[in-house]
Amino acid sequence: MTATPIDIVAWFVYLLAAVMFVMGLHFMNSPKTARKGNQISATGMVFAVIMAFVHLFVKGFISTTAVIVLVVGILIGAVAGVASAKKVKMTDMPQLVSVFNTVGGGAAALVALNDILTNEQLPTLVVLITAGLGIMIGSVTFTGSLIAAGKLQGVKFVKNLKLSGKSFWNVLFILLTVAAFVMLCVQPEQRLLWSVLTTVFALCYGLVFVIPIGGADMPVVISVLNACTGTAVAMSGLAIDNVALIVAGALVGAAGVTLSILMAQAMNRPLLSVLAGGFGGDNAAGGDDGVTGTMKETSADDVAVQLVYAQKVIFVPGFGLAMAQAQRELADLGELLKSRGVEVAYAIHPVAGRMPGHMNVLLAEANVPYEELVDLDDINPQFPTATISLVVGANDVTNPAARRPGTPVSGMPILDVDKSQNVVVIKRGRGKGYAGIENELYFNDNTQMLFGDAKKELQAIIASVKELIA
């Protein structure tokens, strides 16, 4: 391959784009600079795409139809992308990220497929391996993310999907996918057959991989699938020998892997066990051991009195807050209390919500300054000084049973809510958490329960706080 000047220019522009992606991610290390970081990254992307088009027109192309098809596709994609990004509710972010994963993985698989199938010459072994990997990983991500998005959105059909004998199906489709991939490398003359089979089997594996995994484990799954998309893009980059794809794909892969490991640590479960699925849910294996006593119910008015005369209040939001869309109410209550001179903080557990950092985004949307959002390690020493902790829709991450061995949540780092002077829990019903066990916190002497929809109960509390203050 001889490099023409335009190839060299292109190389450097792609390198510049890669540098800008790294800078963009680097600026994400503080909320102050994060927005600038994202803009730098987007600018790099614009450079790379413009360069690709310049390259296309300078070096020439075989068919005008292809270019028209390309441009029309890009326009449709851009409109769809902007529309979904502008419309989405912040509570639905996990689904959207998952959808973008789906389309990214799909695109990577298509680029790789195209590279193998539409060349007249026999592809080299290198191309076969890298493109094959791109097809495999991209296809798994495509169906896997689609199922994940469906589960997060609560689509009934997807939620009700059950898979018996999941280990069998998982192993079967892994073996079939790998076999088809190996055949593709061995028998490139039959590349149409083998690449299509690789694609189909990998698509099936994506389905059986994600279907058995429960909703609350989705943060880890999304993160893993994100890593997969990144890797698929990098593999497609290796196949078509493009530096921008390789570097960008590797960056995303690294981000996904790092976040997945962090998430798994926050749940104290090995990453592989999370991905094996089948945790929690309906198989509530008799977790009543050691839980005695009764829950004390309270009223919104009573909670309001306690809050107004408190010195320090810690809010503990969980997925229930997102479900009830009650983030604004919680923030309003926080503002009211602050205006009374009450010290307010928000305790954020790393796996609260449906994706890493989900609570932070929701509360940021409700204008809570990020300094008030305190993570696990920093907030735990503060609980003993809190007059009252208000738990809104969080369950397993507050269960003191995690400190003892022998329960499904054992060893999981929890928020030490039970150590605060008083605890109020707003909860929809008496049901158990994702781990399928009772929360011992609810039976403590200093805990009061407020049963109801988080949004309505918070509104009621706000109303009576206002009365008290007035």
Partner 1 sequence: MPDLVVSITLFVLALLIGIEVIGKVPATLHTPLMSGANSIHGIVIVGVVIVAAEAHTPLAYVFIFLAAVLGTMNVVGGYVVTDRMLEMFKSSKPSKKDQKEGDK
Q: How far is the CB of 341 from partner 1 (least distance, A)?
A: 16
Q: Which lies closer to partner 1 via its Cβ, residue 397 or residue 425?
A: 397
For the sheet with 388-392, list strands across it: 373-375, 343-348, 312-317, 388-392, 422-427, 447-451
Q: How far is the CB of 357 from partner 1 (least distance, A)?
A: 3
279-285 long-range contacts, CB within 8 A, separation 24+: 279/213, 279/214, 279/217, 279/408, 279/434, 279/435, 280/214, 280/216, 280/408, 280/433, 280/434, 280/435, 280/436, 281/214, 281/434, 281/436, 282/436, 283/436, 284/432, 284/436, 284/437, 285/408, 285/436
Q: DSSP class of residue 314?
A: E
Please calculate the CA angle 329-439-428 and round it to the nearest 5 degrees: 35
Q: Which lies closer to partner 1 via its Cβ, residue 34 or residue 284?
A: 34
Q: How far is the CB of 429 from partner 1 (least distance, A)?
A: 28
d(CA 217, CA 280): 10
Please calculate the CA angle 459-460-461 and round it to the nearest 5 degrees: 90
Q: Which lies closer to partner 1 via its Cβ, residue 142 or residue 442?
A: 142
Q: How far is the CB of 189 from partner 1 (least distance, A)?
A: 18
Q: DSSP class of residue 434?
A: T
Q: Which lies closer to partner 1 via its Cβ, residue 304 or residue 321?
A: 321
Q: Which residues are catalytic?
A: 396
Q: Which lies closer to partner 1 via its Cβ, residue 220 or residue 388?
A: 220
Q: How far is the CB of 300 from partner 1 (least distance, A)?
A: 28
d(CA 247, CA 231): 10
